[in-house]
Amino acid sequence: MTQNWAPETVVVETGRPPREHDAALNPPITLTSTFIGTAGIEDGGRQYGRYGNPTWEPFEAALAELEGSALPGLVFASGLAAVTAALDLVAPGGTVIMPRHCYLGALSGAQESAAAGRFRIVTVDIEDTAEVTAAIDAAVAGAGDRASGRDRSVLLWLESPTNPMLEVADLPALLAHARAAGALSVVDNTFATPLVQKPLEHGADVVLHSVTKSLSGHSDVVLGATVTADPELRELLHHHRSVRGGIAGPFEVWLALRGLRTLALRVERSQANALALAERLSEYPGLEVRFPGLATDPGHARAAAQMTGFGSILCIVLPTAEAARTVAESVRLWTPATSLGGVESLIERRRRHAAEPESVPEGLLRLSVGIEHVDDLWADLEQALDTALG
C-alpha cells in the first residue's frame, strides 16, 4: 500500500505492470502449469500452478489495497472455495457462530461439516448484539484453556447486510468483542463491496468475497477471494488453497480484474437505482420492503454509521409464494435468476431453494439492482406487481 489514493482510483490503477517504454498497459494472462526452478517449495516462489500464477497477483494486490491490507489477497476457484478455506481455520471440535440468515452455500457447507463432527454451529440473530456476544462468550468459556485467537477454537462468521434478509450487524461492536474474547472473525463483504464497507478497519481477521458478484460485475466468471492483514492466517488460507486445489483459472482472474476497473462506477449507479426503487416500492400497497437505505428500515442507523452507502440489493415481501412467483414470471427487463452484483438487474424468490431457512418468507423476492435506467426498471417491476396483486 504505497499510495494514498481514493478507492475510485485504486480500482483503476492498482495491479498495473511497471511503467516502462513500450510496456503493455494491462497485465498479461499467463497460461502455464509449472515454473522453471530448482529451489525447494519451502523457499517460496511459484514453483507449480497450484501455488501461484502471475495473472492472479494484480487482482490480489488490488483487492488487498481496497480492503486495507498490506498483504496480498488470495483468489479462489469460487466464492464457496473461499468459504471452505475460511471455515477450515476453526480448530477441530471448535465452534462456528453464524447468522441464521447468510449465504446459503456457507450455511449449508457449515452444517455438513458440523454433521460430520468437524465443529459445532451456533446460529444467531445477527441484529441482536447481546445475543451474539453471549454466544461468543459461551463458546469461549466452553473451549476452556484452548480459547484464544491463535488456537482458533471459536470463529465468528458475519454478514452485514445478510443474504437475503438484509439484516445489519453492529460490526464494530461484534468484532471488538470477538477479538477481546479470543475468537477469530470472518466477514463476508460480498453485498457491500470494499467501496461501501471495510471490515478490516472494524477489527475483522478475514474478509471474504464472492468475486463472481460485484467485484467482477458481469456475470461471466465464478471466483472467490479472501483478504487478511494477519500473516499467519494468510499462510493458513494459502496452504488450504494449495493443498485442496481450489485454484482459479488465469483467464477468469484476468476478466475479474478487468471488471474491477469499473467497480466504482457500477456501485455508484446501482446504489442510486436501488434507493430510488426502494422508495417507490415503499409506496406500493401490499408490500414489505427491506433496504437499509430507507430511513424506516430497522438497520438504517447502523448502516449509515458503518457504511459509506447502502448497497444495491433490496428485498420485497409479497403476501404469498404464488404472488412472488407471478412477479418473477411477469418481468421482461428484470431477469429471473440467482446470483447478484452484475450490470443487469436480477430477481429471485429465495424460498425456491429448499435449503433456505424457513424464517425466510415464502413471498420474499431478492432484487439485485443493475445499472439500467431506473425508470425502465420501475416500469417493468410495476407492471409485474400489478399482474400479481392487481
* Cell of residue 77, nine digits: 476457484
Is 128 an annotated catalytic residue?
A: no
Q: How many Å separate Cα 245 from the centre of its chain? A: 21
Q: Report in angstroms the alpha-carbon separations of 188 from 1, 119, 352.
A: 22, 20, 23
- Is the bond preceding residue 161 a cis peptide, omega within 30 degrees? yes
Is 48 an annotated catalytic residue?
A: no
Is 213 an annotated catalytic residue?
A: yes
Rg, the chain, Cα only: 21
Is 188 an annotated catalytic residue?
A: yes
Which of the residues 46, 213, 266, 349 is marked catalytic? Answer: 213
* Cell of residue 227, nine digits: 483478504
With a CB cutoff of 8 Å and minimum separation 6, the contacts of 272 are 374
CA gap 49, 28 in Å, rounded = 16
User: Of 65, 62, 60, 61, nearest to 82 (Cα)?
Assistant: 60
**In the block, residue with C-alpha cell 481496497:** 66
Which of the residues 16, 50, 258, 261 is marked catalytic? Answer: 50
Which of the residues 88, 170, 188, 297 is marked catalytic? Answer: 188
CA gap 103, 118 in Å, rounded = 20
CA gap 310, 314 in Å, rounded = 10
With a CB cutoff of 8 Å and minimum separation 6, the contacts of 80 are 105, 106, 109, 224
Which value, to the nearest 10 degrees, does the dihedral of the CA atoms of residues 79, 98, 62, 9 take? 120
Which of the residues 51, 88, 103, 302 is marked catalytic? Answer: 103
**Catalytic residue numbers, as ranges:** 50, 103, 188, 213
